[in-house]
Structure 1
Amino acid sequence: MNRIRCMALLCLFLTNYCRAQKVDHHKTNSIDSVTIARQDRDRRYNIQNVLIKTKDGASIAAIVVRLRGATAPQPVILQYTIYADSTAWKSILEPAVHGYTGVMAYTRGKGLSPDQIVPYEHDGKDANEVIDWISKQSWCNGKIGMYGGSYNGFTQWAAAKYHHPALKTIVPYVAAIPGLGLPMENNVFINANYGWFLYVTNNKYLDNKVYYNPQRWRNMQNNWYNRGLSYNKIDSIDGTPNPFLQRSLKHPDFDKYWQDQIPYQKDFANINIPVLTVTGYYDDGQISALHYLHEHLKYNPKAEHYLIIGPYDHFGAQRGGYPVLRDYVVDSVALISTRDITFQWFDYILKGGKKPVMLQDKVNFEVMGANKWEHAASIPKMVNTTLHLYLTDKKEGDHYLLSDKKPGTLAELNQEVNLADHQTSNNNNYYPYPIIKKELDHSTGLFFMSQPFDKPVEINGMFSGSLKAMINKKDMDIGVSLYEVMPNGDFFDLSYFLGRASYAEDMSVRKLLQPGEIETIPFYRSRMVSRQLSKGSRLLVILDINKNSFAQVNYGTGKDVSTENISDGKIPLRIKWYNDSFISVPVRQ
C-alpha cells in the first residue's frame, strides 16, 4: 500500500500544479523537421517577441501571435505563465488558430527577461501591467480574456484583483493558490511539489532533468522521514538549497504574505467580469480552484461565475478527461473538450456568440456512475438534503457504526499514535489511487460504516464535519477519508480532508488545543465529488492522524511544526474521539 501511495503521490500528486505535457522535441525531431515547422509557422502567423517594461523596472518577456493577413484590431487572449518553454508552440499559437490575437507572457525572469525569477509574488501586478500594455496596442480592440491551468489559473485571479477595464473574462482551469494547496494544504506542508521550485527557477526555461527524477524525490522524503529530522532541514537531505520552501516555512499561517498574492476576501467583491472555472473531482488542487469560486460568490453573490467539474485529475481537467483515470473507467459522457468550450466561451463573451451548450446553469457536473451531466444554480442547489452521520462507539465487526442518530450517552474511542515511530506510517488510505480499491490498510485509524442505502442516492458536493476530541498535546494533523463501500465489497474513493487542528477555525491564525480538554474541531475544505451510489452501498469514514513521509510531521508541542523533530515525539499522541463527532454529506435522494 505504501509503495502504491508513494508512486501515486510522486508521479501524480508531485505534478500537482505543473503542466500536463513535457516533450523534448529537440531529441525527437530532426533539424529538418524543426526548420520546416518554423517555416510553416512563419508563413501562417505574424510572431513577435517583446519585452514589456513594468513600473518598477522589471522586464516581462512575451510572444505576440497574429494570423497573417489580419489587419483589424481583435480581441486578445492572454496566457500568463511561469512555464517558459521554447517548444510549446501548440499553446502559443492556439488563440490565433481560433481567430484571436494571442499573447503568451512569462513570469519576470523567465524566457528573455533578464530579471531574477520569483514565483507568485509579482505575477498579479505584472500581469495587470501586461494587460495595460496590450490594451494600448493597435491590434487590440480593447477586449482581453485570459485562460490556462494550474499556475496559469492562479495568474488570472492574481490579475483580476486589479480590475483592469480591458480584462473582460477569465477561464481558470485547476487554479492554484499559493499557501492553500501548495506548498501547504490546510496549513500542512506537503512534499508533493517539493522539486517544483527548482524546476521553474534553475534556468530561464524549465529544468525537466531535475524535476522528472522521481527516485531523487522519493529518496529525499523517505530519508528525511526515517531520520526524523525537522521539516526545515529537508533540503539538506536533498543537498540542494530550496529558498522557496524556506521562505514559505516562515509563513505557516495563511498570512499577509500569501493573501497579497491573490484576491483576498473583500477583494472579490469588485471582480465583476464573467468567470468560467474548470476542475475535477480528482484534481489535487481542487480545493484551491473551488476556494476562488466560494470566495467570489460569498463577497459578490451576483457574480457571473460558472463551474464545470467532472471525473478529472489535474491534467485531465485541462483537456476534458481520460477514458480511464487511475484504473477507473470514466463515464463516456464525461469526456469533453475543455479547449473547445473555452473558445466557445470567449466567442460568447468577447464576440457576442452563443453561450456554450454545456453551460445550462452555473454549476455543471457529471454524476459518476450515472453517466449523465446535471446542472444547478449553485453548489448548495446540487442537493436536496444533507446526511448528518455520527461517529459512534458501537462496534460492528471490524468497524464502528456511522449512524444518523445522535448518541444519547457521551462516550469515547481511544487512539494512540507513536509519533517517534518512523518505521510505520498513519493515514495510509486517503489518497485516491487507484480510485476503486479491493482492500484498505486497517493497521491505523478508526473505521466507521453506515447501514446500506435502500435505494440509489447521489452524493453531490463537499463533505464536512465537526470532530470532538481530547488530546494530551497542543496540536495534531487530521486525515478524514470518505469511501463508498460498493455492494460487491470494493471501496470507491470519494473524497478526503487533510488539515491541522490548530487552524480549524481560521487558517490565518493558529489556535493551539488545550491538553486534557474536549475541543471542537470543524472541517469543511474537502474535495467536491458527484457520485451515484447503488442500492446496497454504504458509506465508510476513516479517521486518522497524518504521520507519513509525504508531509510535515506535527509532534504536537505547539512550537513551529517545521522546527519539531523526532525527539519531540517521545510521548505518544493520545486521543479520545467522542461519539458526538459527526460528518455532513450532501445528497440528492
Structure 2
Amino acid sequence: MLSKVQQQAAPLVDADRNRRYHIDTKVLITTSEGIELSAIVVRSKSRSEPLPAVLSASIYADEAANLQHAITAAARGYVGVMSDSRGKRFSRARITPYENETKDVTAVIDWLSRQPWCDGRVAMYGGSYLGYTQWAAAKNLPKALKTIVPAAAAIPGQGLPMENNIFLNANYAWPFFVSNGRYDDNQAYRTHNDNEVNQRWYQSGRAYRDFDQIAGQANPWLQKWLQHPAFDSYWQSMVPTAAEYKNLHIPVLSLTGYYDDGQISALQYVRDHQRYNPTAEHYLVIGPYDHFGAQHGSNDVLLREYPLDKVAHLDVLALTFSWFDYVLKGQPKPALLKDKVNYQLMDDNSWQHAPSLAALASAPQRFYFAAKTTQGEYGLTTTKPTYDEAAKTAVIATQRIDFKDRSQSYNQHYYPWPLLQPAFVPENGLLLQTEPLLEAMELAGTFSASLLLRLNKKDVDLGLTLFEVTPEGRYFNLSYLLGRASFAKDPGQRQLLQPGKPQRVVLQRSRMIGKKIAKGSRLLLLANVNLNAFAQINYGTGGDVSAESIADAGEALKLEWLAGSYIELPLRPLAQSGSALHP
C-alpha cells in the first residue's frame, strides 16, 4: 500500500522540486587527467546570488537518495552537490575504491569554485566513505575548501578492511556492492551469506587469501588489499601526512559514536590533527551512537536494547548546517560545542567537555593484573605490586590453544550486542576484575593495555573487552580492542616477537566510551587470543598471515600472561569530569 501511494505521489513531488530548484542530475566534470566524474547539482530558484557549495563525494551511486541529499543543502541556503567516485553513474573510468579520491575530489572542488553560481567557497559533509572523501580532499587542501564535517569517517587500512592490522570479514561483500557496476549492486550482500561463508572458511583451515574461493567468487580487491598487511605507503597515500595535518587550518567538526564500527578511524583523524596541529579548530562530538546514528542522528529510545539518556538524542543534520552557518555565514557556534571534545556521559543524562583527546587520557588509573584470589578470581588492582624484576615475569595465567582444533572459538564476546546482558562465563580466556567501586565514577576516553607476555610463537592476535559488572551482576559492554602483537609498536612496520622470552606488548587503539559507572560496580577485563570465524587467523609463524593455513599450526600455542601486565583506564570521580580537565 505504501509503495503504491509513493508511486502516485512521485509526479507531485517531482513537480514541487522543479518549481523550487534548478536540478541537474547529469553534470560531468573532467579532471586534469581527462577522467570524467558525474555529479548532481541543486540550486534554489529563490536565490540568484552566488552561494557557498555544500559537497558530498560518494562511491554509492543511488541517484534518488543522492538527489535528496543535494536538495537538503539547497533548502538550507547553499548549493547542494553530490559527486560520484570515478567509474560510477556516467563516468566511464574503472572503479577504484579509495585509491583516487584525493585527486578526484580536489578536482570537483576546484571545478565548483569556478562556477558562476558558487561564491568560491566549498564545504563538505557526509559519513563513512563520505567521511573518508573529506579527509582525502583535506590532504590536498584545495583553496576553495573551507570546512569539513566528517561523520564515522573511514581510514583505508586502519579501520577497514583491517583493524589494527587484522583483516576483518565484516565488509567482505562491500567491494562487490560498489564495484560490480555503475550503480550500487543491491544483490551483493544478499549473495554472500556472511555467517555461512565465515564458518565454512573457519572449519576448512584454509589460508585467508582463499576466502573468496570458498565464498565462490573471485574478489580482486580483497586480494590486492591482502598484499598490504602493514599501514604502508599504499594506504598512507590516501590520507593526510603529519606535514599536511600541520598545515590543515580549516575548521573541522568530527562526529562518531561509542558503538560506531568506524570509530577507530574517526578518532584517529581527530587524534592526528590535534597532535600535529594543536591549535587547530577541530571539534569532536561523540555519544552513544552506532555507525548509522553517528551519521544521521537518532531519536531512538534504545540502542541495542539499552535505554538512552534524553540528552543523547542528536539532530546531526541540524548540527551540521548550524556548523556551516557558523563557518560560512558568521552565525554563532553550535551551543553543544563548549570545548574541542564533547561527549555524552551515558547514564548521567549530561554532555561533558574536554580540550582534547589527550586531556582525557592525561591521568589514567592503572590496574595491575593479579593472581587468583581465594575466591578463584583473577584481579585488577590499583596497588602497584612490590616485586623485583624477576617477579614481574611470574605467570598469572597460561592459555594453551591448539589451532588445529576448530571445535572451539576464542574471543567470542567482544562485539557489543546487546550492550547489557546477563552475567556469563566465557568458554575461554582470562577474566580479571576490580573490587567494587566505592563511589560512582566517570569512565571517559579510550583504554590501553601494557601486556607482559611469553609465548612459543613469533606473533599472536589478541582481543581485550572491557565490561562494567553492575551491582545486580549484569555485564555492560564498555569497549574492546583487537590487536596484532607484531604491529603494536608501529602499524606500518611489523616487529616479530621472540619465542620463549618475556616481552612487552602495548595496545592502545581501543574504542572510546563515556559512561557513569555506578557505585558498587566492578570493571571486568576479558583477555583472549583472537581465533574465530570473523577475522584473519594468525598462526604465529612470522610469515605472511594471509598465506598461513592450518598446516602451519604446528605445536599448540602456549601463551603466558605475566605479572608485569596492566591496563590504564580513563577513570575519574564524577567531580573531575571532562569539563574540569583544562590545564
Same fold, TM-score > 0.5, yes or no: yes
Selected match of 1:553 from 528, 533, 537: 537
Contact 2:274 2:356 in 1 (8 A): no
Helix, strand or coil: the match of 1:87? helix
Residue 149 of structure 1 deviates from its aligned partner by 0.2
1:45 alignment partner in structure 2: 21
Which of the numbers 428, 438, 451 marks the counterpart of 2:412?
428
Quick one: distance in 2 between partners of 1:399 and 1:334? 36
Whether 1:34 and 2:37 are equivalent positions in the alignment is no
Work out whether residues 452 and 502 of structure 2, in 8 Å CA contact, stay in contact via their aligned partners in 1.
yes
Q: Report the CA distance shift for 1:350/1:560 in structure 2 as closer, same or farther (over 3 A).
A: same
Deviations, residues 192-245 of structure 1 (Å, cap 9, x unaligned):
00000001111111111222456x222111111110110000000111111111
What is the deviation of 1:383?
A: 6.9
Match for 1:280 among 231, 235, 257?
257
SS at match of 1:219: helix
Gaps of 5+ in 2: 574-583
| Partners of 1:176 and 1:562 in 2: CA distance | 23
Sequence identity percentage = 47
Deviation (angstroms), 1:391: 1.1
Aligned match of 1:138: 116
CA distance in 2, matches of 1:210, 1:192: 13
2:305 is equivalent to residue 327 of structure 1: yes
Q: Distance in 2 between matches of 1:169 and 1:520?
A: 41
- 1:542 aligned to which of 492, 501, 526: 526
Question: What residue number does 2:400 align with?
Answer: 416
Structure 1 residue 441: deviation in Å? 4.2
* Cα drift, residue 29 of structure 1: 6.1
Once the two structures are TM-superposed, the CA of residue 360 in structure 1 deviates from its matched residue by: 1.1
CA–CA separation in structure 2 for the residues paired with 1:237 and 1:325: 34
SS of the residue 1:281 aligns to: strand
Shift of 1:116: 1.1
* Structural mapping, 1:148-547, within 5 Å: 148-212=126-190, 216-321=193-298, 322-382=300-360, 385-407=363-385, 408=387, 409-410=391-392, 411-412=394-395, 413-547=397-531
Q: Which residue of 1 aligns with 2:34?
A: 57
1:356 match: secondary structure: coil
Q: Which of residues 58, 81, 88 in structure 2 aligns to 1:81?
A: 58
Distance 2:5 2:247 in 1: 48
TM-score under structure 1 length normalisation: 0.94
Please report how far the alpha carbon of residue 28 of structure 1 lies from its aligned counterpart in structure 2 after TM superposition: 6.1
Equivalent in the alignment of 2:85: 107
Q: Do the aligned partners of 1:470 and 1:577 also contact (CA within 8 Å) in 2?
A: yes
AA at the equivalent of 2:29: I
Deviation of 1:34 after TM superposition, in Å, equals 2.7
Of the three residues 564, 570, 574, the one matched with 1:586 is 570
Give the Å deviation of 1:124. Answer: 1.1
Q: CA deviation at 1:265?
A: 2.5
Matching of residue 573 in structure 1 with residue 544 in structure 2: no
SS in 2 for 1:395: coil
1:522-546 deviation per Cα after TM superposition (whole angstroms, max 9, x unaligned): 0110000111111101110111000
CA change 1:418–1:386 in 2 (3 A) is: same
Task: Give 3-state SS (helix, strand or coil) of 2:210's partner.
Answer: helix
Could you give the per-residue CA deviations for residues 542-585 of structure 1, whole angstroms, max 9, x where no partner exists? Answer: 11000000000100011100000111113111011101100000
Q: Is the 8 A contact 1:174 1:318 kept in 2?
A: yes
Whether the aligned pair in 2 keeps the contact of 1:384 and 1:587 (CA below 8 Å) is no
Cα distance in 1 for partners of 2:96, 2:399 equals 43
What does residue 13 of structure 1 align with? none
Cα RMSD over matched residues?
A: 1.4
* Structure 1 letter corresponding to 2:30: K
Q: What SS does structure 1 have at the residue aligned with 2:73?
A: helix
Unaligned runs of 5+ residues in structure 1 are 1-24
Task: Give me the whole-angstrom Cα distance separating, in 2, the residues matched to 1:310 and 1:485.
Answer: 21
Q: Distance in 1 between matches of 2:109 and 2:156?
A: 22
Decide whether aligned partners of structure 1 residues 245 and 452 sit closer, same or farther in structure 2, where only a CA change above 3 A counts.
same
User: C-alpha displacement at 1:78, in angstroms?
Assistant: 0.4
- 1:432-452 deviation line (CA, Å, top 9, x unaligned): 111111033421100000011
Letter in 1 for 2:196: N
Question: Is this contact kept in 2: 1:52–1:60, CA < 8 A?
Answer: yes
Matched pairs, number = 563
The 1:450–1:586 alpha-carbon spacing in structure 2 relative to 1, beyond 3 Å, is same
Q: Write the deviation string for residues 48-69 of structure 1: whole angstroms up to 9, x where unpaired.
A: 1211011111111101100113
For residue 96 of structure 2, what is the aligned residue in structure 1? 118
> C-alpha separation between the residues in 1 aligned to 2:4 and 2:326?
39
Structure 1 pair 29/561, CA: closer, same or farther in 2 (3 Å)? farther
Q: Which residue of 2 aligns with 1:11?
A: none
The Cα of 1:288 is off from its aligned counterpart by: 0.1
CA offset at residue 395 of structure 1?
3.1
Is 2:52 the counterpart of 1:68? no
Distance 1:30 1:362, change over 3 A: closer
C-alpha distance in 1, partners of 2:348/2:164? 32
Q: Which segment drifts farther, 417-426 or 510-519?
A: 417-426
C-alpha displacement of 1:117: 0.8
**Distance in 2 separating the partners of 1:399 and 1:426:** 20
Aligned to 2:577: none
